């Protein structure tokens, strides 16, 4: 199996990625991301950690049922090497046509002694019993010796051997804390493949974290050493500095075939779209200079570069923007374009909206076209994403009126429609128009939170450019299960205050959806318009 010339892409955006602070997604959003990952062509979707909470279990189950069909990807659920975890993981993935249980236990002395309080013998016995138990439920079992890169080499061979004998079919070797260097990680992979009894009959997998900025290099080094599965996330989101970015590994294989000579099933033209979807849902912004999918990845500013590009694109581009799904066309639609043209263009950009979706998008498009002469693909993508990410429950903004300037008191008046169709109006002053808007919204929604991050950038250039805002808010740390969870929101509009209000509303809605009734409106909230009138 190790000789195959295909690399399996195991995407863990919904597990290791979602686990990182601020990347929380609602179950509907996770399902949407899973659908997009299937469109992208990943081989395995790690849909979550079912034992973490009933919500996580439910989200994994939904993905298994709705995305894990016969010609779809393998759906994996993560489990610690404990019986209850494994039972829950199986409950989550069993409805998929191709289910997988992924179980892990730490093998470094540091983790065994300090974290688990277990001896080496106890760890080996636990691996044997729990992998066997998992295998009694499911044919496809992955085992990970956590903190493998800081484990004793001989003990690691022993742990992998026992996992294989107990029924593991994929052996994943995590550089859990991003400590390895590329040469070292590749050598470790080669050593394990060569020395582990049974090692030639399983798939070896690389799982790297980016603490020293080496995740992609380490993953590619493992591939050269014989790994045939890579564990990656979209945009590299994940614990601490993140995981290996899917787009980087895939485009390295694609762009340097002479070095790797390996293929994978990814439809590269879906990369940009997937990246944006994940960024918008998590509120984790992609840096401009991020490889492959950053806004500047294909921008050429220096005169010498522009001159070269005009003469021959290959002078300064090793891959084309089209290959990763970034369209070159700048000017697409305008004020006089019709609904049909909009639908076709959105389809070309990969957005399959239903009738109501197109109607809604057209309404937004017309509003945008009134304010902005040229509507580019980037504008349309922002518009479609905004639509895709609106959580159905809770509040929507119906009106926003701002008064600001100097001297004066920046004042915002907000009208929101609540979950039952009730309308609320509230005004407030603040340090600036955005602060006043957020504060008025807070008084209506009454969902306590702390604003951790607020960032603005423009989608295109020019005075009429569409502005994009992302915010991240943190719920109070008031119960064991909430643990101060962080939620992201995204909004786009030609008016930056409106974009800010949309982003904040999306984050609040996401928090209310995740944390439920605890954040419904309490005593002291302003009356609804209906109540005021009566
Ligand atoms: O980084 C890690 O060790 C993990 C394991 C659970 C596979 O994510
Ligand atoms: Zn990890």
What residue owns the CA closest to ligand 1's atom 8? 16
In the prediction, which pLDDT does 97 show? Answer: 98
Give the C-alpha separation, 153 to 225, whole Å: 16
Taking the alpha carbons of 312, 317, 318, 319 in that order, is the dihedral positive or negative? Answer: negative
Q: How far, in Å, from the CA of 326 to the mean position of ligand 1?
A: 32
Ligand lying nearest the CA atom of residue 104: 1
Mutate to test the pocket of ligand 1, among 18, 142, 159, 174 (most ligand atoms within 8 A of CB): 174
Backbone angles phi, psi at 285, to 5 degrees: -75, 140
CB environment 66-97: b (16+ within 10 A), e (fewer): bbbeeebbbbbbbbbbeeebbbbbbbbbbbbe
Task: Give the number of domains in the chain.
Answer: 3
Residues with Cβ < 8 Å from 99, sequence gap 6 or more? 64, 68, 74, 75, 76, 77, 90, 93, 138, 140
What residue owns the CA closest to ligand 1's atom 2? 176
Is 231:244 a contact under the CB 8 Å cutoff?
yes
Ligand lying nearest the CA atom of residue 243: 2
What residue owns the CA closest to ligand 1's atom 5? 146
Ligand lying nearest the CA atom of residue 233: 2
Determine how β-strand 450-458 pairs with β-strand 467-474: antiparallel
Same domain, 232 and 371: no
Residues with Cβ < 8 Å from 64, sequence gap 6 or more? 47, 75, 77, 92, 93, 94, 95, 96, 99
Tens-binned pLDDT, residue by residue, of the chain (534 aa): 455 899 999 999 999 999 887 788 888 889 999 999 999 999 999 999 999 999 999 999 999 999 999 999 999 999 999 999 999 999 999 999 999 999 999 999 999 999 999 999 999 999 999 999 999 999 999 999 999 999 999 999 999 999 999 999 999 999 999 999 999 999 999 999 999 999 999 999 999 999 999 999 999 999 999 999 999 999 999 999 999 999 999 999 999 999 999 999 999 999 999 998 998 888 788 988 999 998 788 877 677 776 777 778 888 889 999 999 986 544 457 777 788 878 877 776 767 778 888 888 888 888 888 777 667 777 787 777 666 555 555 789 999 999 987 778 899 999 999 877 889 999 999 999 999 999 999 999 988 899 988 988 777 667 777 788 888 888 887 655 556 777 888 888 889 999 999 999 988 888 887 776 455 555 555 555 544 433
Give the position, in ligand 1's atom list, of the atom nearest the Cα of 15: 8
In the prediction, which pLDDT does 494 show? Answer: 86
Q: How far, in Å, from the CA of 374 to the mean position of ligand 1?
A: 46
Give the C-alpha separation, 40 to 37, whole Å: 5
Q: Is residue 292 part of a domain?
A: no
Evaluate the omega torsion of the peptide bond into residue 407 and state whether it is cis, within 30 degrees of 0: yes
**Among all chains, which residue has been given the structure tokens 């046509």?**
97
Structure tokens at 481: 């299960």
Give the position, in ligand 1's atom list, of the atom nearest the Cα of 174: 3
Task: Please report, for residues 15, 47, 206, the alpha-carbon distance to residue 102 in angstroms, rounded to integers and kept in the order given.
Answer: 11, 11, 14
Same domain, 382 and 401: no
Give the C-alpha separation, 182 to 519, whole Å: 47
Q: Is residue 112 part of a domain?
A: yes
Task: Please report, for residues 116, 169, 234, 394, 476, the alpha-carbon distance to residue 77 in angstroms, rounded to integers and kept in the order given.
Answer: 22, 15, 18, 30, 29
In the prediction, which pLDDT does 143 show? Answer: 98
Q: Is residue 475 part of a domain?
A: yes
In the prediction, which pLDDT does 2 show? Answer: 53
Give the position, in ligand 1's atom list, of the atom nearest the Cα of 172: 7
Q: Is residue 1 part of a domain?
A: no
Is 488:318 a contact under the CB 8 Å cutoff?
no
Domain ranges, residue 471: 396-533
Residues with C-beta less than 6 Å from any ligand 1 atom = 16, 104, 144, 146, 172, 174, 176, 207, 209
Same domain, 245 and 305: no
Q: Is residue 442 part of a domain?
A: yes
Same domain, 247 and 363: no
In the prediction, which pLDDT does 188 show? Answer: 98
Same domain, 321 and 442: no
């Amino acid at each position: 199996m190790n000789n195959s010339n295909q690399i399996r892409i195991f995407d863990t955006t919904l597990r290791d990625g979602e686990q990182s602070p601020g990347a929380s997604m609602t179950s509907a959003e996770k399902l949407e991301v899973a659908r997009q990952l299937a469109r992208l062509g990943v081989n395995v979707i790690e849909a979550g950690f079912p034992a973490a909470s009933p919500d996580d279990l439910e989200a994994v189950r939904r993905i298994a049922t709705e995305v894990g069909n016969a010609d779809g990807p393998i759906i994996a659920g993560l489990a610690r090497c404990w019986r209850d975890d494994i039972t829950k993981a199986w409950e989550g993935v069993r409805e998929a046509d191709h289910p997988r249980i992924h179980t892990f236990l730490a093998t470094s002395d540091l983790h065994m002694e300090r974290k688990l309080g277990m001896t080496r013998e106890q760890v080996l016995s636990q691996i044997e019993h729990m992998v066997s138990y998992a295998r009694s439920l499911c044919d496809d079992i992955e085992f990970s010796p956590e903190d493998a890169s800081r484990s004793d080499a001989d003990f690691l061979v022993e742990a992998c051997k026992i996992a294989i004998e107990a029924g593991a079919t994929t052996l994943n070797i995590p550089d859990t804390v991003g400590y390895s260097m590329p040469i070292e990680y590749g050598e470790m992979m080669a050593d394990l493949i060569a020395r582990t009894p049974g090692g030639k009959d399983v798939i070896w997998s690389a799982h790297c974290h980016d603490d020293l900025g080496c995740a992609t290099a380490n993953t590619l080094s493992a591939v050269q050493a014989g790994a045939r599965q890579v564990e990656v996330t979209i945009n590299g989101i994940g614990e601490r500095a993140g995981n290996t970015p899917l787009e980087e590994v895939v485009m390295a294989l694609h762009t340097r075939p002479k070095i790797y000579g390996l293929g994978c099933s990814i439809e590269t033209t879906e990369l940009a779209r997937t990246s944006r979807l994940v960024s918008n849902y998590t509120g984790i912004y992609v840096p401009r200079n991020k490889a492959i999918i950053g806004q500047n990845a294909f921008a050429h500013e220096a005169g010498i570069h522009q001159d070269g590009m005009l003469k021959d694109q290959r002078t300064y581009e090793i891959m084309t923007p089209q290959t990763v799904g970034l369209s070159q066309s700048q000017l697409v639609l305008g004020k006089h374009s019709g609904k049909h043209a909009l639908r076709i263009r959105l389809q070309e950009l990969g957005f399959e909206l239903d009738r109501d979706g197109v109607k809604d998008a057209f309404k937004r498009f017309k509003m945008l076209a009134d304010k902005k002469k040229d509507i580019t693909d980037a504008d349309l993508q922002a518009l479609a994403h905004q639509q895709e990410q609106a959580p159905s429950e809770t509040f929507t903004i119906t009106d926003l009126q701002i008064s600001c300037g100097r001297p004066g008191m920046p004042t915002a008046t907000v009208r929101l429609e609540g979950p039952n169709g009730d309308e609320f109006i509230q005004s407030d002053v603040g340090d600036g128009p955005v602060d006043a808007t957020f504060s008025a919204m807070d008084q209506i929604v009454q969902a306590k939170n702390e604003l951790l991050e607020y960032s603005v950038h423009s989608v295109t250039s020019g005075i009429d450019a569409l502005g994009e805002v992302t915010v991240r808010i943190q719920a109070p740390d008031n119960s064991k299960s909430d643990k101060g969870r962080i939620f992201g929101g995204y909004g786009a509009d030609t008016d930056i205050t409106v974009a800010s209000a949309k982003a904040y509303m999306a984050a609040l809605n996401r928090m209310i959806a995740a944390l439920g009734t605890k954040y419904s409106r309490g005593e002291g909230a302003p009356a609804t318009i209906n109540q005021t009138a009566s």
